Amino acid sequence: MIWRALFALVFLAAPAVAGVADTPEAIAQGFYTAVLSLKEGGIPDSAARARLEPFISPALAHTLAAANEAELAYAQNSRHAVPPLLEGDIFVSLFDGASKATVGSCHGTAAGAECPAALSYHSPSGRTYHWQDTLRLTHTAIGWRVDDVIYGGGVPYANRGTLTSNLAFAIRNARGR
């Protein structure tokens, strides 16, 4: 009986992401690996969110799901006659996305951290764009998780502000406010 309790305690305390260390840097790099594997832009659907969920906070997962529901309702109400509320890659500054992401050293406290990431995109025309975004992580009951993206901008057609502020904008505008 004691062994079962000890096993359960160790199992529940283990990071939820198999094979990934529970450090801000490892979770941040895992997040970008998942982001770079996504093929569709805009607000991710449930299948895309499932690929991100091991790396994102419950709050960000909830906001992404709410934004997706709002986007679907918006498209249906407009009879698909208008473009999506958010287009392009919403997880990095550049609309076209990134080809490579390298996470630097994170800094913060036991409850939260910020991780700078050097990103680049190699366009089909041969031009290369470089910029830096910052991931904001929070330490949850299941370990470190990405809670927001702070866009570094400085590239054409760049997202501005933060991921969560852009998602909130989409949710508000889907309702016509």
Measured CA to CA in angstroms, residue 36 lies from 47, 51, 83, 84, 135 at distances of 15, 11, 23, 21, 15
Q: What sign has the CA pseudo-torsion 41, 46, 52, 56?
A: positive
Q: What confidence tens digit (pLDDT) does each residue in 85-140 have? A: 999 999 999 999 999 999 999 999 999 999 999 999 999 999 999 999 999 999 99
DSSP-based three-state secondary structure for 112? strand
* CA gap 54, 63 in Å, rounded: 15
Whether residue 81 has pLDDT greater than 90: no
Whether residue 9 has pLDDT greater than 90: no
Whether residue 14 has pLDDT greater than 80: no
Segments in the chain forming alpha helices (H): 2-13, 24-37, 46-52, 58-77, 163-174
Architecture of domain 23-174: Roll (3.10)
Percent share of the chain, pLDDT over 70: 90
Question: Quick one: pLDDT at residue 176?
Answer: 66
* CA gap 14, 56 in Å, rounded: 16
Q: Tokens 């770079």 appear where?
A: 36
Question: Quick one: pLDDT at residue 12?
Answer: 39
Question: Quick one: pLDDT at residue 13?
Answer: 41
Q: What confidence tens digit (pLDDT) does each residue in 39-56 have? A: 899 999 999 999 999 999
According to DSSP, the β-strands at 107-108 and 112-122 are antiparallel
Q: What is the pTM of this model?
A: 0.87
pLDDT confidence band for 16 (50 / 70 / 90): low
Domain boundaries, given as residue ranges, for the chain? 23-174
Percent share of the chain, pLDDT over 90: 77
Q: Tokens 């502000």 appear where?
A: 161
